[in-house]
Amino acid sequence: MTVKVVDHKDFLATINALLVNSSTVLDVGCGVGVTLKEFCCPIKIGVDAHRPYLENANSGEQFIKLNFKAERISELFLPNSLDSVTLIDVIEHFEKGIALDVLRQVENIAAKKVIVFTPRGFFQQIDVDHYGLGGESYQRHRSGWEVEDFQNLGYNIVIFSKFHDQNNQAFLQVYGKEAKPIDALLAWKDCNL
């Protein structure tokens, strides 16, 4: 397992480098598909529990949209059925025990990689509606994640130093103009080796 620190915000380049050998990707908690559209995989599947997000995804973006809860994701997909699974700004929305179960499920689904992106530590977020589509209850943060959490699960980690700052509206709303930035973690695990 490796831990690397970077001081840029281009997490998508890192994710796409990890996805380079994947033909299929499942993005759990895809929202309106903003991040999913940037993935290099030819076949993209987005799952989200809040149907209005999927209904309002950019119509020009081609991905399979499934309205389903992450907590039951293994009911939809067979083991090793997709090359990679991503959870981008998702696991912090679950209580830790539930998030760990979701990780276990997606590790079983992924034939190659599981990729997770989340704030480092607990980033308070309450009653935020990023898309104006009534998803506030889904946007609340319920857990915080540290390097050790992912190391204990066998993940490699890249720390994006000072990723969340005053340019992030949710950060500004909760922490204010004078707060120190918060790191983000990108963790990945090679599956079924």
123: domain CATH number? 3.40.50.150
Average pLDDT value for the chain:
90
Q: Which amino acid type is present at position 78?
A: L
Which pTM was predicted? 0.92
CA–CA dist 106, 91 (Å, integer): 12
Q: What is the pLDDT of residues 9-18, one digit of tens each?
A: 999 999 999 9
CA–CA dist 15, 30 (Å, integer): 15
How high is the pLDDT of residue 169? 78
Q: How many domains does the chain have?
A: 1
Give the per-residue SS3 of 118-145. EEEECCCCCCCCCCCCCCHHHHCCCCCE
CA–CA dist 38, 188 (Å, integer): 18
Provide the residue range defining the domain that includes 116.
Answer: 3-190
Q: What is the pLDDT of residues 42-69, one digit of tens each?
A: 999 999 999 998 998 876 668 999 999 9
Q: What is the pLDDT of residues 132-169, one digit of tens each?
A: 656 566 677 779 999 999 999 999 999 999 998 888 87
